[in-house]
Amino acid sequence: MITDGLKKDFELEQDRTAILNAYKGLLRASKHIRDKEDTKLIRKAFNVALEAHGSTRRKSGEPYILHPIAVARCCAEEMGLGTTAIVCALLHDTVEDTYISLQDIEDLFGLKVRKIIDGLTKIPEVFDDNVSIQAENFRKLILTISDDLRVTFIKIADRLHNMRTIDSMRPDKRLKICSETEFLYAPLAHRLGFNTIKNEFEDIIFKYKEPEIYRQIESKLEKSKEIRQRFIRQFTHPIKKSLEANNFDFTIKARTKSIPSIFKKIQNKNVTFSEIYDIFAVRIVFDGPVEEEKETAWRIYSLVTDFYQPNPDRLRDWISIPKANGYESLHTTIMSPTGKWVEVQIRSKRMDEIAEKGYAAHWKYKENSKIHSTFDRWVGEVRDLLEDPKANAEEFISDFKLNLFSDEIFIFTPNGDLRVLPKDSTTLDFAFDIHTDIGLSCIGAKVNGKLMPLSHILTSGDQVEIIRSQKQKPKEDWLKFVVTARAKSKIKSALNEEQKKVASDGKEILKRRFNQLKIRFTSENVKEVERFYQMPNATELYYQIAKGKIDLKKLRELETKNQDFVPAKKAPQQQKTQSSLEDIISCVDNKKDTIVIGDDFLNFDYKLANCCSPIPGDSVFGFITATDGIKIHRTNCPNATQLMSNYAYRVIKATWKSNQLKARLAALIIQGIDDVGIVNDITNIISSEHEINMKSISFESNDGVFEGRIKLFVYDTEHLDKLVLKFEQIDGVKSVERI
């Protein structure tokens, strides 16, 4: 007992030391933004949080109070937020998880802090397992953007710390959290200008979703680190000397491209790791007056290009026209003496801070009207999306995400005013960007003086004049080619209004038909008609009736009993499917149950998904579909992120039966240099490989490069990997990928 007591005392002492060190770290991180009064307020918030959370621990085993301290430090150090945000970060879990009430918060810290804590409390950290509630929670998070941005900032910091400590979670929970982060938090961090945080999100997500590829690239980066550093020193030496000779106040940094970015480049450009020329970028950060920043950046560009030849197609001027998230920088790609292209970024200290800390830094430099206007404009777009309280939460999230990660183009009005739109925007997107009424009445546009249709895709520099007609009405086809969230939202609202008008006519038609059949017009009877014609709701039923797309003569197939409808045949298939979905969900505990592929699972059918064709050895999960039982997907399936983030309550753990030997279909794409006999070499390997059957094979050659697609049956990933290795050893084959 003495030993146990001493051990407990030792652990308590360790906890106290860890908490004290974490708090001191927070004070160091915030020293440049606080005075004596601020320090008292932060100390007060720390004491309240410490007492409220008491001996509670996180899943990692550490005292819970370390989490809010870490979130507060992230707000101060990585986002540059002030005392109010730090106080709210320290208190962010108290109302939800402890005895502290919102009134207590207001009494101790005032109304402003109460409002922010209230906003944070309404948004759960781990979103609900029910899809409709989950979409609503995402919506709540986005609502805070147009209310108090600090709620969103703290929520991003909260998620960042949870991602950094994700190791302590179960593997299935890790994948769910990663999917949520990939689905919303990473794009949101990007849109708010937190580039460093966005990159860290993506890095952690990739590390857990593609662990093997992550380790391979990480190893290659580590092995080439010394060579890279030597190259950077030699490359920057003449630039540094020239900048010093011209009395610039500057620093030069080298930034290595993130592992997910490297992998995307390998995939998109179809190159190997060694062929990627921009694994790193050189950044020149100068200091000087704001009004001279643009001139200084171009002077530095001129000095750099005195030594190295620039690529004219790779010059990007985001100083004259900043990105919508406030990013400002001058980018150029130049040829090094060793024949490698190197990206050089030139920016001021102010620009660098905004690039790293996003719109939190924006407030510090709010006198810069360009940044202020782009930010306020985007918040205005968010408010537009939130205008319709009846909007479906899932549709809202889908529309909102459209503009989070898109590149931008710059379009001019006839008067020369500049408008910033997402890449691939159409003339109709531009019309809605000007004003809703202009979009709804748009019939075409003059682009650079030439008449163009509504669906014409604009390019940067276009000058656009909208042509309108009061007779124009919004059409459903418009939704197929507009890309901005604003346009989609406004078109849907207008179509809904139009649908309601048409639906009222359909309702009258159905009423008359009921009278003819001597049936009472009740909500129960209308529900039966909805089910019979498989309509999602009454409005859609009335609308289809008014449009003449529903044959009301079929109502005779329904019999009446006590003046109420009863279907003459079996209940519609849709109803059966719905109950079967509910049956599976009600019988399955997705936190405890695991599908062992090859064994029976609670008497429910399951099958392998066609979208990713998993084979034994793949990391997999089960997903309860609405119409087709349970499907088994690979965890790196293209659809996995959406399924795990939006429908987590329908995701089940799955694993392969170790002794299962059944051939599964896999597909490979092989690319390389076309040569006589190469196809024969590939087919010989397949035919000579023991027990490999092909389903299909096709090869195409273009300008000396071939691409082959093969579908074949293999037993597991080990079996497939051996085959891929043999293909890669053929002379001329450059890449073999599973698709």
Both 164 and 24 in one domain: the answer is: yes
What was the pLDDT predicted at 408? 75
Do residues 42 and 182 share a domain? Answer: yes
Residue 118 is among the residues annotated as catalytic for this protein: no
Long-range contacts formed by 330-339: CB under 8 A, 24+ apart: 330/297, 330/298, 330/301, 332/301, 332/304, 332/305, 333/278, 334/304, 334/305, 334/308, 334/309, 334/310, 335/308, 335/309, 335/310, 335/311, 336/231, 336/235, 336/308, 337/235, 337/308, 338/231
Q: Is residue 418 situated within a structural domain?
A: no
Residue 86, token pair as written in the block: 């730090």
- Decide which of 150, 183, 216 is a domain's last residue: 216
Q: List C-alpha distances in Å: 331 to 21, 301, 334, 683.
A: 41, 9, 10, 47
Tens-digit pLDDT profile for residues 368-409: 445 455 556 666 666 565 555 445 555 666 666 555 556 678
Q: Flag whether 731 is in a domain.
A: yes
- Asked whether residue 171 falls in the same domain as residue 238, the answer is no
User: How many domains are there within the chain?
Assistant: 5
- Token pair of 230 as six digits: 């030597």
**411, pLDDT greater than 90:** no
Judge whether 453 lies within some domain. no
Do 228 and 349 fall within a single domain?
Answer: yes
Same domain assignment for residues 652 and 678: no
For residues 212 and 225, state if they share a domain.
no
CATH number of the domain that residue 669 is part of = 3.30.70.260
- The domain boundary residue, chosen from 656, 681, 703: 656
What per-residue confidence (pLDDT) applies to 671? 84
575: pLDDT strictly greater than 50:
no
Lowest mean pLDDT among 201-210, 322-331, 579-588, 618-627: 579-588
Tell me, yes or no, whether 14 and 32 share the same domain.
yes
> What pTM did the predictor assign?
0.65
Q: What is the pLDDT of residue 572?
A: 41
520-571 per-position pLDDT tens digit:
788 777 887 887 888 888 888 888 888 777 877 777 766 544 345 544 333 3
Asked which of 162-166, 182-186, 350-354, 361-365 is least confident by mean pLDDT, the reply is 361-365
Per-residue pLDDT tens over the stretch 687-713: 776 557 777 888 887 766 778 888 888
148, 73: one domain: yes
Q: What is the DSSP string of 17-55?
A: HHHHHHHHHHHHHTGGG--HHHHHHHHHHHHHHHHHHTT
Q: What are the pLDDT digits (tens) for 280-307?
A: 889 999 998 988 999 999 999 999 999 9
Among residues 13, 51, 97, 477, which one is catalytic? 97
User: Which residue has 């997999």 as its token pair?
Assistant: 620
Same domain membership, residue 111 and residue 251: no
Instruction: Tell how strand 620-624 and strand 630-634 pair up.
Output: antiparallel
Retrieve residue 41's tokens.
């307020």
What range defines the domain where residue 632 resides? 575-656
Flag whether pLDDT at 134 surpasses 60: no
| Domain end position, chosen among 198, 216, 234 | 216
Q: What pLDDT does residue 329 have? A: 93
Q: Estimate to the nearest angstrom the gap between the alpha carbon of 678 and the chain centroid.
A: 41
Candidate list 15, 77, 96, 287, residue with the active-site label: 96
In a shared domain, residues 307 and 349 = yes
Backbone angles phi, psi at 644, to 5 degrees: -70, -35
Regarding whether 700 and 646 lie in a shared domain, the answer is no
Is residue 96 among the annotated active site residues? Answer: yes
The percent of residues above 70 in pLDDT, for the chain, comes to 83
Instruction: Based on the fold, state whether residues 21 and 165 are members of the same structural domain.
Output: yes
Residue 599 has pLDDT above 50, yes or no: yes
